[in-house]
Amino acid sequence: MPVDYSSVRGYRVKYITSQTIHADGTTEKGNNVVGYIVSGPFKHTPELIISTTSLPDGKAYSAYSYAVTATGGDGNYTWSAEGLPPGLEIETISGTVTGTPTQAGEYNPVITVTSVGLSESATFEFNIQSLNLSTPRVLANLGNLDNYPNEARPESMVYDEGRRTLVLVPQHINVTGTIKETADGINFSQPISGDFRAFIKKENGFFYSGRGNPALLRWTTLNNISGINPGFTGNNWVVTAFYNEDDNILYLGRYAAEGMWLYKSTDNGLTWTQDISIALGAASMYGPVYRTEYISALQKLFYVFGGNYANSSTTPLLYSRDRDLSNPAQRLSGCINFVWSKRLQKLICGGVNNTVYISDDGITFTGQRLDNNKANGFSLVYNHNDIFYFIADNQKIYASTNLQDWNLIYTASSTSIFRHAGFLPELNRLIFIQANGTVIGIDII
């Protein structure tokens, strides 16, 4: 008996039926199959199906990542989506929905996958929950951390992933710093102590800098510590240290009576070369270079130096690496520190007189004063998941998601300047520390 190929996938069958030829030459097809023509085998493409049936809820202003999957086709997929919440997108090759949603609500995105000419779409119910902040509360008090309230010094505090702790150096130019760390913002330990000034987190340890002759840069994992001599002579303050992942370069801000310098190293601090030199007439009235970062989107290295509002000629200044230091038109006067928003593509500076400065290009800035009751004073800006916290000198903390509308979320009872801001991811807890050692905690819920 011949094989019935009509039920076998991958084969094409053409049936031959009987026909009757009439006397007038016309033909009439019959119903009897008298033969068939088989072609094949052909490669069979499995049916394309989106196997993901639901998307996990997200939270506004919290990072989101979830991979949508499919079966069938030839295994090579191209993904697209319509109607995703603002701030989210789908990666074309992997099918991962990723980003930081910026607006709470209920959404019904349509996700489409294509493969070898096949296409399949699915509609999902997708909920983005609102982000809420707990009532700020005092967690601890570390005692006085700053004897120089007139200085515009955003101090050093970073998160150590390995130890799951916030590590900080509460110090000042003429005050011995002591390293502290905390996993909850309540209990603080002191792993090592010494004359530390600032530090950078790099890989599995830290570089610490300090005052001395010579001024040493120290490497530590908090279990052991070793010194590196950058070769600076005289009574110097190596008061700042930074590591830029974009260019894999260490930076040091050196400060002495005759001026300020920014040095860089490409070999983990073994050798240093001078990058920027700033001559001073009265160094004691100036702060050092204390903030630097390379902004990839703007292709510029930005840095801040100066900062003592007791002397109007020493207002902190923001420069980019390619600008003329002697030209006042090429610097932002009054910038204490700065952060970059990838989502908004803006550079944000915390400034004097309780003013936040915003720029698209790092050259032209617009200023927004948040508290007109304060004539001067320094204010910091902190960015966590594109929620911006403006930490005013008059003991107030504001929050914004769009850099236009600022909400007052906390007013401290003391008159001490805020110096530190950080985040503990395990607890979803923001930490703000005043110069008098008061630790404020705000949980993201």
SS3 letters for 393-436? Answer: CCCEEEEECCCCCCEEEEECCCCCCEEEEEEECCCCEEEEEECC
Q: Tell me whether residue 365 is in a domain.
A: yes
The whole domain housing 29 covers 5-39
Q: What are 112's strand-pairing partners?
A: 80, 121
313 and 193 fall within a common domain: yes
357 and 209 in one domain?
A: yes
Tokens standing for 196?
């530390």
Q: 402 and 437 share a domain?
A: yes
SS3 of residue 48 by DSSP? coil
Instruction: Specify if 182 maps to a domain.
Output: yes
Q: Are residues 393 and 286 both part of a single domain?
A: yes
pLDDT, residue 249, reads 78
The verdict on 69 and 168 lying in the same domain is no
* Per-residue pLDDT, 173: 45
Q: Helix, strand, or coil here: 124?
A: coil
Domain count of the fold of the chain: 3
Q: How far is CA 297 from CA 105, 266, 343, in A?
A: 30, 22, 11
CA 365 to chain centre: 21
Q: Is residue 44 part of a domain?
A: no
With respect to residue 381, please indicate whether it lies within any of the assigned structural domains.
yes
Digits of tens for pLDDT over the chain (445 positions)? 455 544 545 556 666 666 666 667 677 776 666 666 656 555 567 889 999 999 999 988 888 999 999 999 988 999 999 999 998 999 999 999 998 888 889 999 999 999 988 999 999 999 999 888 899 999 999 887 765 555 555 556 778 777 788 888 765 544 455 678 899 999 988 776 665 555 555 555 565 555 555 555 555 555 555 555 566 665 556 556 667 766 777 777 766 666 667 778 787 777 778 777 666 554 444 455 667 777 888 877 787 766 544 443 445 667 665 555 455 555 677 777 888 888 889 999 887 778 888 989 888 888 888 876 655 566 788 888 888 888 876 678 888 888 888 888 888 887 777 878 899 999 999 999 888 889 999 998 8
Q: Are 35 and 169 in the same domain? A: no
Q: Are residues 296 and 401 in the same domain?
A: yes
Residues 179 and 262 in one domain: yes
Residue 229: the pLDDT is 58
pLDDT for position 311? 40
CA–CA gap between residue 184 and residue 202 (Å, rounded): 22
CA–CA dist 356, 341 (Å, integer): 14
Q: Is residue 176 part of a domain?
A: yes
E-strand stretches of 137-235: 137-141, 156-160, 165-169, 177-178, 180-182, 188-189, 193-202, 205-212, 217-220, 225-228
| Nearest 10 degrees: Cα torsion 339, 333, 417, 370 | -80
362 contacts 320 by C-beta, under 8 angstroms: yes
> Is residue 145 domain-shared with residue 78, that is, in the same domain?
no
C-alpha span between 244 and 207 (Å, rounded): 13
Q: Has residue 55 been placed in a domain?
A: yes
Residue 358 belongs to a domain: yes
Which among 129, 150, 175 is the end of a domain? 129
Residue 5 has a pLDDT of 46
Peptide bond into 86 cis (omega under 30): no
CA distances from 370 to 362, 373, 392, 397 (A): 21, 9, 8, 10
End-to-end CA distance of the chain: give it in Å, rounded.
73
Output the pLDDT for position 55: 97
Q: Specify whether 103 is located in the same domain as 9.
A: no
The pair of three-digit structure tokens given for residue 106, joined into one six-digit string: 């209920």
Tell the burial category of 53 from Cβ atoms under 10 Å away from its Cβ (0-12, 13-18, 19+): exposed
Tokens at 414, concatenated:
């003391």
Q: Measured over all CA atoms, what is the biggest interatomic distance in the chain, rounded to whole angstroms?
A: 121
Last residue in a domain, options 99, 129, 159: 129
CATH of residue 144's domain is 2.130.10.10
pLDDT number for residue 177: 55
Full 3-state SS string of 353-390: HHEEEEECCCCCEEEEECCCCCCCCCCEEEEECCEEEE
Classify residue 186: in a domain, yes or no.
yes
Q: Looking at residue 66, what is its pLDDT?
A: 97
| CATH code assigned at 96 | 2.60.40.10
Last residue of a domain, one of 80, 109, 129: 129
Q: Specify whether 283 is located in the same domain as 426.
A: yes
CA dist 78 and 97 (Å) reads 13
Q: Are residues 283 and 339 in the same domain?
A: yes
pTM value is: 0.71
